[in-house]
Every structure is written in structure tokens, then in C-alpha cells.
Amino acid sequence: MSLLVPGDTCWRIAPADRVAFLIDTEAYFTALYEAFRKARRSILILGWAFDPRTRLFPDGHDGPNDPDEVGHVLLDLARERPDLDIRLLIWKSALPIAATQEFFPHKARAWFRDSRVRFHLDDKVPLGACHHQKAVVIDDRLAFCGGGDIGVDRWDTPGHLEHDLRRIMPDQDCHDPRHEVMVMADGAAARTFGDHFRERWRCATGETLSPPPEAGGDPWPDHIPPHVTDTRVGVARTAPPWQDQPDVHEIRDLALASIAAARETIYLENQYFTSPLIAEALANRLGEPEGPEVVLISTGRSPSWFDKLTMDNARANTVWRLRAADVFGRFRAFYPVTAAGSKIIVHSKVSVFDDRLARIGSANLNNRSFGFDTEIEVALEAEDESARRVVAAFRDRLVAHFLGYTGDAVSKARAERGGLIPAIDALNREGRLRPIELTRRSAFGVFTAAYHLGDPASPEDAWRPWRRRDCLYRDALPARVQRRSKSITSGR
């Protein structure tokens, strides 16, 4: 029985001739640049954040007008190719958040003023919510989706070096090591993302766009071999009920269905982990004698004070809940560090279930991403043995790059030791993956976590935090999760 059900756990299922996973932003930005250069009809960029000063090929020296800054790349393309339609739809961030980004993307409007690049800031969301989707569509033939923003503090390599001057920012400081993951798909899957962008553009601006005319060509980057060919992918979303727009919670429902159906391994890589609904679904599986392993990799500590106060405190509750439920020793929660011991920021939003399903998108494992913010993701469900090997290899490569090994080394250790957790224990000799610490919290931190301040589940409870705790934990009752688990697994 497929986990991808249009209208339930996904929006659409669409064919893709090629799918490739891009691990870390060096790979993403390199592929993005080549796809930009190959574009013939349209470049559509959907983002939570955007900074035109972002270097696509940083070299350790940052000047005032580097030609590889994405803003200059797009302006040059607009001048060179009058038939190329370039549009950016970026969330109009709240001022406190914009201030942390030097008021980008707001300042980005000045970059594109009086040019052929159409840049629009989108604020059509409930108060306090955000547009968190991250996607790029080229000619309706190629789409990128994942957790990566086009920003000055995003670039890094899978090596996550302790000191890398290529992580330089416009203020001449270097940002911390950072982990991101994107997925790239073509064919009808890319057209699905084009349709999504055009609907978002219509809601934001009132302008109805037509799909780009057929122009031939192939925007797929030449240097990237596909990991899967001739497959189908699901596209799932989150959207809050707002004005005449209905609520959409496909990502939440796919997450629950995936957890319920997993047999051997649940691998989660995410910036945040605060959802009681997900915690209870996982706790239910950990309580089964023959249930799956659960491995979570997240950031050791959030880089911003607001996230430390809200997300980190709430994460402590969910991690504690799962450790308490882990009666059979099948749960691990790690944060990665560099070879020298500095924390790596995990900004990716990835989940892999057995060798069956890989999900890459913008959604965090928090309340906001399931009903308050907008999100989008790609889900690849393996349909044959070859695809299953690809899904397993993708997960093993992710784990391996944190440990300083190859994916083949993790695969071999899994086979020899009987699972992902024993494999990590065997290969983690240098302590590159460390247990997430549950530190002592202040009274206000305990209160913030209990009522999920800053992490509402819907517009309805956004300004009523005193009701949020009861609503969240009522929805996360184990009986509810068990009923859903039985309904899904009965169709295996």
C-alpha cells in the first residue's frame, strides 16, 4: 500500500525522469548557477529569505560587487535574455527577523528596481505566520526543493571544516558550519512546482500567470548524475486557513503515516523537534518490542536567542519523552560537531523511513510547520529494488558525512552489526555525533516549553497560548496515534 495518497498525504504524485539529492549548499549553489545559465523561458524563486549578495562560488574574499553574487547573476541574465521571465516571491519577514538579516530581503527590492526581474514580498499569511517554502523552478522543466535558503550565511561543504574562509559574509566575518539538503527533480514533477509558484504568485499579487511556452533544451546541470530515473514523486504541503484559502496539512499526515508504517529504521534530520504529535507517534513505535530504530540528528543549540528560548526548551521535552519511552534501547538523539568539536548548525529537513521513503523539504518537526506556516516537500517512495538501494544509500551517506566516513562504510557497518544505531556506535569513535544534552532550564524556560510559546499549531490558537497546551496534547494522545497506525499498517 502506497504512503502517498493525493488529497490526503500529498497534493500530487508526478512523474520525474531524474531525481538527485544535493547534500550541502556548495552542491546546491553550483547546480543552481548552471540551471540559471541554461534557462530559456523562466526562473521562478520561492523563498523564506533571499539575499542578492549571496555568493554562489565563494572564494574566501568578499568584495562590493562580486560577479557571482546571485543578484548580479539574475540581473545579467535579465539583460542578456529579454525573453527570460525572472520572478522572485519571498516572504515579507517581520521586522525583528528582518533585522537579524540586515533587513534583507526587504532591501533586495532596490537591487531589482527598474530591471526586468520581478521581485515581490509576500505577506498574505496570518499575523505571526510565515511563508517558509523554499523552491526554484527553471522553465517548468527542473525544480529544486528543500531546506536551503539563498542567503549569505548558508554556504558550506560536506566536510564542514572548522575554519573555512569560503564561508565569508559581506561583513567580512565567517559564519558557522552549516548542513543543508536539497532535492532536484525534472519532468512533470517540475511542472507541479511551477503550478504551485503561479498559484502563490496569484494570491500574493492578483496577477495570473500562464505556464512558460515550450522552448526545448534541458536545464539539468551536466555535472550532476541522477540518483533515480523514471520514477514518481509526491509533493506535499502545509498551508494555514487564511481568508478564502483552506488549511492544508499533507506534510503532517504524511509524517504520521510514515512513522506508523516504518518497520526497521526512522531517520530524522531537522533543525527543530518540538511537535508533541510526532513525539507521541514515535513513542508509540518505540514501545513496540519489534518496532523500528529512531535516530534524530539536530543542532546542538540554536544560533538565535529566540530559538534557544522557544524551540530548544520545547525540544528538551520531546527528547525526554522519547528517552522515557525507549524501553528497548532503540532511540538516539544526536548533534554533529566538526573534527575540532564545534557545533554544526543542522538546518536540513529530511526524513528517511526504512529503504522505502525519503522526504526532503522545508518543514520542521514543530507545530508551526504542520498548520501555521506554509511548507512544501518532495517525497520519493521507492517502487523497486533499485530505488530502495538509492534511498538507503542516501540515508547512509547523510549519517556518514557527519562521522567522517563514506556511505559505504555505514552500509557495511549496518549489515555487520544489525542496524543503524549499532553502526553509528561502532563508527563514532571520534565523537563527531554527540547525544543531545537536556540541560537545566529556568522557570521561564519550563513555562515556554510547556505552552509552546512561539510555536503555534494554527491561526486559531496563535494568540491563545493558554489553550495551546491542552489542544496540542489532546491531539497527541497515544490512542489517537495508535488508531491511525492500525489503519495504515493494516493495508501493508
Q: How do residues 79-117 score in pLDDT, each as one tens digit?
A: 999 999 999 999 998 777 777 767 778 788 999 999 999
Confidence band (pLDDT; 50, 70, 90) for 188?
very high
| CATH code for the domain defined by 12-230 | 3.30.870.10
Mean pLDDT value of segment 170-182: 96
What is the rounded average pLDDT for all residues in the chain? 92
Cell of 282: 514515535
Task: State which fold the 242-489 domain adopts.
Answer: Endonuclease; Chain A (3.30.870)
Give 45's strand partners: 88, 136
Confidence band (pLDDT; 50, 70, 90) for 483?
very low
pLDDT of 482 > 50? The answer is no
pLDDT of residue 322: 97
pLDDT of 486 > 60? The answer is no
Confidence band (pLDDT; 50, 70, 90) for 185?
very high
CB 376 within 8 A of CB 145: yes
> Helices marked H in 273-312 — which ranges?
276-286, 305-307
pLDDT of 414 > 90? The answer is yes
Cβ atoms within 10 Å, residue 131: 25
Mean pLDDT value of segment 420-425: 98
pLDDT of 47 > 70? The answer is yes
Q: How does DSSP assign 113-162, residue by residue?
A: TTSS-EEEEE--S-TT--B---EEEETTTEEEEES--BSTT----TT--S
Q: How far apart are CA 107 and CA 123, in angstroms?
A: 16
pLDDT of residue 310: 87
pLDDT of 372 > 70? The answer is yes
Confidence band (pLDDT; 50, 70, 90) for 480?
very low
Q: How far apart are CA 104 and CA 172, in angstroms?
A: 17
First to last CA, the chain: 5
pLDDT of 33 > 60? The answer is yes
Q: How far apart are CA 123 and CA 91, in angstroms?
A: 6
Give 259-279 pLDDT, tens digit per residue: 999 999 999 999 999 999 999
Q: What is the pTM of this model?
A: 0.94
Amino acid occupying residue 102 = E
pLDDT of residue 275: 95
Q: How far apart are CA 232 and CA 251, in angstroms?
A: 17
Domain with CATH 3.30.870.10 in the chain: 12-230, 242-489
CB 365 within 8 A of CB 348: no
Cβ atoms within 10 Å, residue 163: 10
Cβ atoms within 10 Å, residue 429: 9
Confidence band (pLDDT; 50, 70, 90) for 476?
low
Give 211-235 pLDDT, tens digit per residue: 999 888 999 999 999 999 999 999 9
pLDDT of 479 > 50? The answer is no
pLDDT of 469 > 80? The answer is no
